[in-house]
Amino acid sequence: MACKRRRTKSNSAGLTALSLCLTKRLAPVAAGGDANLAFSPASIYAALALLAAGARGGTLQEILHALGGESHDDLAAFARRVAERALADRSRSPPGGGPTVAFACGAWYDAAWAPGPEFRDAAAAADKAEARAVDFSNEPEKAVSEINGCVAAATNNHINSILDSSSANALTSLVVASAIYFKGKWEVPFTKTHTRVDKFYRLDGSAADVPFMRSSPSASGNEPDKAADELLRYSMCIFLPDERDGLAGLVAKIASGPGFWHYRLPVERVPVGDFRLPKFKLSASGSVRQAGEADLSGMAKSDGDEAGTPLHVADVRHKVVLEVNEDGAMAVVATSSYMLRGASAVMADQPETVDFVADNLFVFFVIEEVSRAILFVGRVLDPSV
């Protein structure tokens, strides 16, 4: 694991710490070098919490340190609470409905291997999780197709694959995957006829013409319905650097500790003057863990293997598709971890009216305010891409 932290009894703090650790990746390396990027800490947490149920020794301690738990039971319990609350579908919640959310987490193990009892029980107890036997040894492509099918179903076909055909072979013994589909609407939607094309300034100093959503001061100042305020509340928090080339410094401050994150969030509404936010859609995929050895002896054991051939984590793949437009935000994400068997800035004093023009690089967080669960984190370097 690349991200380590002190052990804490607060798993909520563990999710925040994991989020901030991964946020460091949002700092662009050089002008013109990096592209838009997004990930879901909640999805990564769910996959690693399930992985922890089969981890042993130093591997388990490593995961516990990264996720902020005392035991794999702690991690599983917190992942369940996040799934039951922050990742629960609210589309039919009165009044007016909330965001549409679909979440799934599962494990697929080779039919020649018997899952360990603790891992099997953890998968059964996890919210919306399941463990299935597939034939990696003889039909790896069919097994990959089944996993991708489950991910597609969980994300309403917005992510139709998390693994490619070469991701599994005869050495694959286990795949753990999680997927989230999220579609929310703004409390006060942007008026589409107010959207105008304007300049967005890239890291290298060049500019792109992109559509900017705009809202009037009267719309942004509306108070929420009290009944709606009693429900879970989802927010997109945008951190905009003061300088056009200041994203790296801003990311470093955000990732420096939970204090910056918590104390910069607004606690009350303020009147907004000129508010402009670019429409954007981004897709990002890649690895969030390099291959390495790990003690996953509690995961599974092959028939007749009394010695317990060790497993290691081959990779943890992550894929996100996110779109922000006048109606709201839609995001889908999938995370998978597959194993092989082998030998071894809001200021304290607010002005009366705030102008917010996101016409250069920015970082965003999608959070559920009641649980403080961070669902998505990302950066936008070029909305035209």
Distances (CA, A) of 325 to 110, 188, 213, 328: 42, 12, 8, 6
Q: Is 71 exposed, middle or buried (0-12, 13-18, 19+ CB in 10 A)?
A: exposed
Q: Which residues contact 340 (CB under 8 A, 6 or more apart)?
A: 171, 172, 173, 311, 312, 314
Q: Is the pLDDT of residue 318 over 80?
A: yes
Hunting for tokens 């992510």 — which residue is that?
159
Q: Is the pLDDT of residue 304 over 60?
A: no
Average pLDDT of the residues in 285-291:
63
Average pLDDT of the residues in 303-319:
64
Whether the CB-CB separation of 160 and 145 falls below 8 Å is answered with: no
pLDDT band of 348, cuts 50, 70, 90: very low
Q: Is the pLDDT of residue 292 over 60?
A: no
Whether the CB-CB separation of 333 and 41 falls below 8 Å is answered with: no
Q: What pLDDT score was predicted for residue 117?
A: 74
Tokens coding 126? 């996890």
Higher local confidence (pLDDT), 4 or 18: 18
pLDDT band of 351, cuts 50, 70, 90: low
For the stretch 27-44, pLDDT in tens is 776 555 568 888 899 888
Separation of alpha carbons 102 and 95, rounded Å: 20
Separation of alpha carbons 53 and 35, rounded Å: 35
Separation of alpha carbons 90 and 247, rounded Å: 34
Q: Is the pLDDT of residue 196 over 90?
A: yes
Least confident of 21-25, 173-177, 214-218, 220-224: 220-224
Higher local confidence (pLDDT), 352 or 323: 323
**Vertex 130 angle, CA 129 and 133, to 5°:** 155
Q: What pLDDT score was predicted for residue 9?
A: 44
CB atoms within 10 A of CB 302: 16
pLDDT band of 314, cuts 50, 70, 90: low
Average predicted confidence (pLDDT) for the chain = 78
Amino acid symbol at 157? N
Q: Is the pLDDT of residue 197 over 90?
A: yes
For the stretch 46-86, pLDDT in tens is 888 888 877 778 778 888 887 888 887 888 888 888 888 88
Q: Which residues contact 363 (CB under 8 A, 6 or more apart)?
A: 23, 26, 238, 239, 247, 250, 251, 254, 377, 378, 379
Q: Is the pLDDT of residue 174 over 50?
A: yes
Name beta bridge partners: 134: 110
Q: Is the pLDDT of residue 90 over 90?
A: no
Higher local confidence (pLDDT), 156 or 313: 156
Separation of alpha carbons 224 and 228, rounded Å: 7
From the list 1, 38, 5, 7, the residue with the least C-alpha distance to 323 is 38
Q: What pLDDT score was predicted for residue 218?
A: 44
Q: What pLDDT score was predicted for residue 95?
A: 60
pLDDT band of 345, cuts 50, 70, 90: very low
Q: What pLDDT score was predicted for residue 183?
A: 87
Q: Is the pLDDT of residue 209 over 60?
A: yes
In order of their start, the domains of the chain are 11-184+282-341 (3.30.497.10), 187-280+349-380 (2.30.39.10)
Whether the CB-CB separation of 158 and 332 falls below 8 Å is answered with: yes
For the stretch 183-193, pLDDT in tens is 888 888 899 99
Q: What pLDDT score was predicted for residue 263?
A: 72
Q: What pLDDT score was predicted for residue 80?
A: 82
Q: Is the pLDDT of residue 291 over 50?
A: no
Q: What pLDDT score was predicted for residue 144?
A: 92
Q: What pLDDT score was predicted for residue 360?
A: 93
Q: Is the pLDDT of residue 145 over 90?
A: yes
Higher local confidence (pLDDT), 127 or 244: 244
CB atoms within 10 A of CB 269: 12
For the stretch 102-137, pLDDT in tens is 888 888 888 887 777 777 777 766 655 667 889 988
Higher local confidence (pLDDT), 209 or 132: 209
Q: Is the pLDDT of residue 219 over 90?
A: no
